[in-house]
Amino acid sequence: MGGLINNEIDALLKDTSRSFFVTLEMLPKKIRRQVGLLYLLARVADTIADTKTGSAEHLIQALEQYDSVAQGSSNELPDFSEITALQEHEGEARLMQNVSKVVSALDLFDELDKKFMRECLGIIISGQTLDLKRFGPANDTGSISALQTDQELDDYAFRVAGSVGDFWTHMTCNHILNSSFSSGEKREKFFALGVRFGKALQMINILRDIPEDLRFGRCYIPIDFIQDKGLDSSDLLDMKNMEKFRPLYDRLLDIADAHLDAAIEYIGMLPYSQFRLRAACMLPVLIGQRTVSMLREENVLDSENRVKVSRVEMKELIGQTKRSLILPGGGQRLMRSNRNL
């Protein structure tokens, strides 16, 4: 991929981005650096919010102070030593030791790029702060709190991921696409689909990670949905309740699939000549589709059997993505045929 920002920042990105790094490698150079840095900025916030500590107030304060520095309104980062010491993943610990360098990298970009990165980060942090206020820190206390309504679920999906789809689309329009995307209905549709693209990926994460979230006292399945089926959030801890939960779960998977269909439409709006951009967008859609298909068959409440696309399948999907882009319409055919295989 070559140098992205600098050797130190690039190493942090590779250590923490895992599967996203594959998508990043596919992106055109014109927007790769912006997307990569936003990922790291958001990953810092995510690491803070997910730290297993006893004080939600402490984490919220750390997020607010971090956001203040990232937004350029303060120069004083919080003391991250305690949060760093609690990290189980070495890459995340190194990231927390180098937050100042990540934030300083914003100065490498022009004012417009910086504006969109800061706006997106602020929205993401608002979602994480709301999470901490609702649920408290990610501690194994035995108590479970749940979202109340589907509107709360949709709002959360927008804050932590739909906003990234919006940012990605701004970068695409500003640096790659022609003036036909500069205004009007086409632009409005493109941005709306971009937001749904982001929501799709977050919905899949939520629907895949139910047991882990429950273990830390968080239920993102709205309680009004659960109670309609005669269940409570704590009932989702028992894998034997999957049969009763399945109709509701399939309904939520349908929402994720509908968002993925919006993502396919989004990719269809990209010019045929933008091979790298289309590939970078296609891969998460294909992985998402495969994950949804597996979730429709597996017992997601079984904490010992986490659904995940294997490395072998990932390599196959990467190969299929590249091959599909050779012929016009090949990418769309692949994504349509991959839906619910």
The pLDDT tens digits for 249-276 are 999 999 999 999 999 999 999 999 999 9
* Burial class, 297, CB count within 10 angstroms (exposed 0-12 / middle 13-18 / buried 19+): exposed
Token output for 320: 């299929």
pLDDT beyond 70 at 1? no
User: What type of residue sits at position 53?
Assistant: T
Question: In this predicted structure, which of 15-29, 146-160, 267-281 has the lowest mean pLDDT?
Answer: 15-29
User: What's the pLDDT at 2?
Assistant: 56
For residue 147, give Cα distances in angstroms to 163, 174, 243, 251, 269. 20, 36, 22, 17, 34
For the chain, residues classed under CATH 1.10.600.10 are: 140-341
The answer to whether the beta carbons of residues 192 and 122 sit under 8 Å apart is no
Distance CA 220, CA 227 (A): 14
Kindly tell me if the per-residue pLDDT of 325 is higher than 90. Answer: yes
CA distance 2 to 21: 13
Please state the rounded mean pLDDT for residues 310-338. Answer: 94
Antiparallel, parallel or unpaired: β 218-219 and 145-146 = parallel
Angstrom CA distances, 179 to 63, 183, 214, 324, stand at: 38, 8, 47, 27
Q: Answer whether CATH 1.10.600.10 is correct for domain 140-341.
A: yes
Flag whether pLDDT at 141 surpasses 70. Answer: no
Average confidence score pLDDT of the chain? 94
pLDDT, tens only, 20-35:
888 998 999 999 999 9
φ and ψ of 219, to 5 deg: -125, 115
Q: What was the pLDDT predicted at 295?
A: 98
Residue 19 pLDDT > 80: no
